Chain A
Amino acid sequence: EAQVTQNPRYLITVTGKKLTVTCSQNMNHEYMSWYRQDPGLGLRQIYYSMNVEVTDKGDVPEGYKVSRKEKRNFPLILESPSPNQTSLYFCASSLPTGGTDTQYFGPGTRLTVL
């Protein structure tokens, strides 16, 4: 089954404790991205990757890191989480054109930073 998986689905952590949210897709998509969704603000892109070893900042990259060592995986790293990073996070993948192709979203990770 074609899908995007994320782990963990739910996470409660404390300020400053490094965490990683994993994202994996089995559709051989070149383009992957991370979004956060907050009430009243919609989905905002954090980082994206056009291919292996190619990553770029989205609209709200501060406080986040990503890596793309393999085509299927695109982990999101919070080196020192803060309460303003409490949000619902979605990973997405699509074909190379990124913007004009269907985005396939993972199930979401609900993060709470205390």
Chain B
Amino acid sequence: RKEVEQDPGPFNVPEGATVAFNCTYSNSASQSFFWYRQDCRKEPKLLMSVYSSGNEDGRFTAQLNRASQYISLLIRDSKLSDSATYLCVVNTDKLIFGTGTRLQVFP
């Protein structure tokens, strides 16, 4: 079993839709969690950290479920510019990157 697993997608959604991605991790001792965004052929950039209480940044909401060992990312009111690959990242004394979920928002 992979340490961090994500559905590779692609998720094809129309503008304005709400879309959610999940990510599962295998190590219950994992300490911190992040979502990174990666545009095609570009470097990953931090989108948001994920806190136990859940956190929101504009249209983006991240949640952590330690009992079930998954984190989620919810994007509301999708924009064309949200099209990218979203990487789930888990810190278990080192950073483990998921392979990413690709999102394509169409007009």
Interface residues in chain A, defined as those with a beta carbon under 8 Å from any beta carbon in chain B: 35, 40-45, 58, 88, 90, 98-100, 102-103, 105-108, 110
Contact = CB atoms under 8 A, between A and B. Distances in A.
A100 B46 contact: no
Contacts of B100: 42
Interface residues on B, range: 10 to 19
Interface of B: 4, 31-32, 36, 41-46, 87, 91, 93-95, 97-100
B32 A99 contact: yes
A100 B97 contact: no
Q: Which of B91, B93, B94, B95 has the most CB of A within 10 A?
A: B95
A99 B94 contact: yes
Given A41-B99, A42-B99, A105 B93 contact: no
Q: Is the interface of A mostly helix, strand, loop or mixed?
A: loop
A103 B87 CA distance: 13
A90 B94 contact: no
Given A43-B87, A99-B91, A99-B93, A90 B99 contact: no
A45 B43 contact: no
A107 B43 contact: yes
Contacts of B87: 42-43
B91 to A, nearest CB: 4
B6 to A, nearest CB: 9
16 contacts: A40-B99, A42-B4, A42-B87, A42-B97, A42-B98, A42-B99, A43-B44, A45-B95, A90-B43, A98-B94, A100-B32, A100-B91, A103-B44, A105-B45, A108-B42, A108-B43
A90 B95 CA distance: 14
Contacts of A43: 44, 87, 97
